[in-house]
Amino acid sequence: MSAEQTPRALRHIIAIIGRRNAGKSSLLNALTEQDISIVSPEAGTTTDAVAKPYELLPLGPVTFYDTAGLDDDSSLGQQRIKSTRKALYKADVAVLVVNEDGLGSFEKQIAADVREMQIPLVAAFNKCDKATLRPEDETFCRENNIPYTVVSALENKNITRLKELIIAAVPEENKRPIKLLDGLVEAKDSVILVTPIDTSAPKGRLILPQVQILREVLDTKAFATVTQTEELADSLAALKDKPRIVITDSQAILQVDKIVPPEIALTTFSILFARHKADLQIMAEGAKTIDRLENGDKILIAEACSHHAQDDDIAKVKIPNWLSRYTGKKFEFSFRTGSDFPENLEEYRLVIHCGACMLNKAEMNRRLRECVRRGVPITNYGIAISKTQGVLERVIKPFGL
Ligand code: SF4
């Protein structure tokens, strides 16, 4: 599979930021050894963030975002800055490109903003063919723990060094996220996956979380039985030995809980993703808020991909109904899809997020951290649904919670 074909969620995101005409586009061309960004001596040529997939070895597939200059204060510039911030929101690492004038208060402010977003920062002092690095800039980088190098995008100088700094800056937990089935399944174990095919299931295929978990079962050299809810009892009876674990679509958890004997471990696809992409403990804690909700509370339901909602849509219909039935109260629901995640998080009493199989770990973690930072409880679909069906304790038990 080429870098272009790797799913977005499995790529690291590197955002290239700085002033207009610091040489960001030329640097991207040098980093990717291609001519894809328009390079112009005129300031502000890059309008929206330009995404370029690249195989940054030994790290793996990455997407570089060549962003618009952050110093454009025209009204169009404000939209560009918004798009740059969006790119930063999903970034594993930000590269601050500095022109021959060195670090000014503008660059120092960007460095502070990026630090506040907890994004690792690397400084690239560009145009080293024209200017030398100032000692005070070196001191600033050292004092602020910012790895840096001088580069010349035009003369292709120190580009390899910059790549090494970028790779080193990617947080270890993003380089090697916990596997979906870590600690749950070993070679030769038998696993049952329950994948209901209802009206909301896509035609002719399984959805990504199911495919990814099936792939991990195969990678682990374990055996998988894939079944619908109606065939689950027969599937269990047909097995010579008890399965190590049953993993089900969250929407079927109530029926599946009744069929699977208590001595067999049971969890959901969505809960596995809560651990893999975010933090299961924080999200399990967040579900406790469901018992404290009051009439009229605002609840945000966020999905990381968009699709046409059916009559029985999980986000718009099923979860709101289950929550109201469980609590006996009425709430105000807001829905967000794709890369749209609100700034005004404090308005919400609870955030319920999907498994986020389409997001990379950096972006999902940033969403989680923003909620924690602003004191807004966050949970996910599988956890919230299990809570409303009275089976939460059972489905988080395999994780020692
Ligand atoms: S991004 Fe979310 S809603 Fe979309 S398929 Fe993945 S888990 Fe489901």
Mutate to test the pocket of ligand 1, among 283, 307, 354 (most ligand atoms within 8 A of CB): 354
Q: Which of 303, 310, 319, 379 to mutate to test the pocket of ligand 1 (most atoms within 8 A of CB)?
A: 303
Centre of ligand 1 to C-alpha 234, Å, is 29
Query: Which pTM does this prediction carry?
Result: 0.83
CB 31 within 8 A of CB 66: no
> Quick one: pLDDT at residue 1?
46
Tell the burial category of 120 from Cβ atoms under 10 Å away from its Cβ (0-12, 13-18, 19+).
Answer: buried
- Ligand 1 atom closest to Cα of 381? 7
Q: What is the pLDDT along the chain (401 residues), one digit of tens a residue?
A: 454 566 677 889 999 999 888 899 899 999 998 765 555 556 555 556 788 999 999 999 999 998 876 666 666 666 767 777 778 888 999 999 999 999 999 899 889 989 888 899 999 999 878 889 999 999 999 999 999 999 998 889 999 999 999 999 999 988 887 899 999 999 999 999 999 988 777 888 988 999 999 999 999 999 999 999 999 999 999 999 999 999 999 999 999 999 999 999 999 999 999 999 999 999 999 999 999 999 999 999 999 987 766 778 899 999 999 999 999 999 999 999 988 899 899 999 999 999 999 998 999 999 999 999 899 999 999 999 999 999 999 999 999 98
Helix then strand then coil, % of the chain, to nearest 5: 40, 20, 40
Say what the pLDDT of residue 199 is: 75
pLDDT at 194: 97
Apex 379 CA angle, 377 and 381, nearest 5: 150
Cα-to-centroid distance, 355 and ligand 1 (Å): 6
Q: How many secondary structure helices (H) and strands (E) does the chain include?
A: 15, 14
Residue 67 C-alpha to ligand 1 middle, in angstroms?
27
CA–CA distances in Å: residue 138 to residues 16, 24, 102, 120, 397:
20, 20, 10, 17, 51
Q: What distance lies between CA 162 and its chain's CA centroid?
A: 25
What kind of architecture, by CATH, is found in domain 280-394? 3-Layer(aba) Sandwich (3.40)
Q: Tell me the CATH number for domain 8-175.
A: 3.40.50.300
Cα of 341 from ligand 1 centre, angstroms: 14
Beta carbons of 140 and 108 less than 8 angstroms apart: yes
Tell me the CA–centroid distance for residue 304 and ligand 1, in Å. Answer: 6
- Does the Cβ of 354 fall within 6 Å of ligand 1? yes
CATH number corresponding to 190-272: 3.40.50.11420
Nearest CA, atom 6, ligand 1? 357
Residue 150 in contact with ligand 1 by CB distance below 6 A: no
CA of 194 to the centre of ligand 1 (A): 17
**What ranges do the domains of the chain cover?**
8-175, 190-272, 280-394
> Which of left, alpha, beta for 348 (phi over 0: left; psi -120 to 50: alpha)?
beta
Distance 147 CA to ligand 1 centre (A): 35
- How many CA atoms lie within 13 Å of 276's alpha carbon, on the beta-carbon side? 25
What does DSSP say about strands 350-353 and 12-18: parallel, antiparallel, or unpaired?
unpaired
Q: DSSP readout, 149-192?
A: EE-BTTTTBSHHHHHHHHHHHS-HHHHSPPPTTTTT--TT-EEE
Say how many Å lie between the CA of residue 72 and the centre of ligand 1.
Answer: 35
190-272 and 8-175 share a CATH fold: yes
Q: Is the CB of 315 under 6 A from ligand 1?
A: no
Residue 209 beta carbon below 6 angstroms from any ligand 1 atom? yes
Q: Ligand 1 within 6 A of 301 CB?
A: no
